[in-house]
Amino acid sequence: MPGRWRTLSFLVSPRVGRCAQTAHGSERKEDLGSPAKDNKLKGQPVSTIGDRKADHIALCSTDAVAFKSKSTLFEAVRIVHNALPELSADEVDPSISLFGRRLRAPIFIAAMTGGTEHASRINRELSAIAADRGYGFGLGSQRPILRDAAVAPTFDVRKTNGSPNAKNLLLLGNLGMVQAVELGVDGLRALVDRVEADALCIHLNPAMELVQPGGDRDFRGGLALFETLVASLGVPVIAKETGCGLSRSVAKRLKNVGVSHVDVSGAGGTSWVGVETKRAEEVGDQPSAALGALLWDWGVPTAASVMDVASVGFETIIATGGVMNGVDVAKALLLGATAAGLARPVLMALQQGGRAGAEAFLDQVEAELRAVMLLTGSRDLAALRGAEKIVVGELAAWHSRPHHA
């Protein structure tokens, strides 16, 4: 489909090489390539899903699909300064235990991609960084595997990323709710086992699907699915949105069927409605493009979503959606999150500067988180969550709105 890629090519960063450490400590050079060139596995036919995943990478490598007027509302959280922290910077400990793994900081490189050769290289690179830094890593939707088993290796990051720490990586699998309903418990268990995931995200994305050309339209059966999976899957099940956030009322319904872990994936970062709107424009689907233009900023802002689900109470709350720096990570934890995930800014750092660029960006994120911990007198994450804060403006309005059954 060269014509479509000529249009999208301006969104793809230049080809970037990178050096990574193999398990034996030697450097290997790998070209991150361009999805325009290799949006399919060699020798395999181009699939609709593969094309879509390649489009997603191209679009998310830029700011072209950010929310337009809606923010995460992290700016409405005021952290109260502690002028007498009685701590040394070396005493600050942001480590956390999650899903049976120990992380050196409450940070995930969040779900993005899979299913193409270009996506495979990104997954290997970012998962190796996560493993070596002691962060969590989220796979993109594993749906392409259901269509073509040949793409399964693009998700096998624990086996293929070359990190000597891969066996200790906290890895989250990922599949859409509609596909999970169709696949059933046994199929989902096989999907988890295939990638050796520690937990499985079931993502909810009705707004994105409504705008997506050829997207799903039947979203029934979700609550029954979660109830069954929590009881039967054998690994933690995470209810995850996809850029539109989880509201308090949805959180209550999830908790009522036994869900203990959520990823809010709120509004204010990447608009996945915006991503599909761009794709609809490219293929000339004007009704979908028009709907997407109206719904581009749809959703619950990330900070509001964290507060909503925290008020309901979950064992694990992962804050994703527009988390851009370590101060955002700290604010998410102050609002009740367990950990936070970054996706697009890490991808952009990787595309622009290779592994060294991504590492430098993440060094800064972690330094910012540690700085906030020191300046609030927080020796550990439990102390940070209890640090003093003020919530103002629109975020206060979101939080104080009447409860809806």
Overall fold of domain 2-11+35-398: TIM Barrel (3.20.20)
CB burial of 223-261 (b: ≥16 within 10 Å; e: otherwise) equals bebbbbbbeebebbbbbbbbbbbbbbebbbbbbebebeb
- Alpha-helical segments (H) within 201-298: 206-211, 222-232, 248-256, 272-282, 286-295
pLDDT confidence of residue 62: 59
Number of Cβ atoms within 10 Å of the Cβ of 394: 16
Number of Cβ atoms within 10 Å of the Cβ of 283: 15
pLDDT confidence of residue 54: 54
- Over the stretch 98-155, which tens digit does the pLDDT of each residue have? 999 999 999 999 977 777 888 899 999 999 999 999 999 999 999 999 989 999 999 9
pLDDT confidence of residue 51: 57
User: What is the DSSP code string of 147-196?
Assistant: H-GGGGGGG-HHHHS--TTGGG-EEEEEEEHHHHHHHHHHHHHHHHHHHT
- Residue 267's identity, in one-letter code, is A
pTM: 0.86
Per-residue pLDDT of the chain (405 residues; tens, 9 = 90+): 333 222 222 223 332 333 333 333 333 344 454 444 344 333 333 335 555 555 555 555 556 889 999 999 999 999 999 999 999 999 999 999 999 999 999 999 997 777 788 889 999 999 999 999 999 999 999 999 998 999 999 999 999 999 999 999 999 999 999 999 999 999 999 999 999 999 999 999 999 999 999 999 999 999 999 999 999 999 999 999 999 999 999 999 999 999 999 999 999 999 999 999 999 999 999 999 999 999 999 999 999 999 999 999 999 999 999 999 999 999 999 999 999 999 999 999 999 999 999 999 999 999 999 999 999 999 999 999 999 999 999 999 999 998 876
d(CA 306, CA 281): 33
| Element containing residue 199 per DSSP (H, E) | strand 199-204
Length of the chain: 405
pLDDT confidence of residue 43: 36
- CB within 8 A of 48, min separation 6: which ones? 214
Mean pLDDT of the chain: 87
Number of Cβ atoms within 10 Å of the Cβ of 10: 9
pLDDT confidence of residue 60: 54
Q: Domain residues of the chain, as ranges? A: 2-11+35-398
Cβ distance 404 to 249 under 8 Å?
yes
Cβ distance 280 to 55 under 8 Å?
no
β-pair partners for 101: 98
Percentage with pLDDT > 70 across the chain: 84
Percentage with pLDDT > 90 across the chain: 80
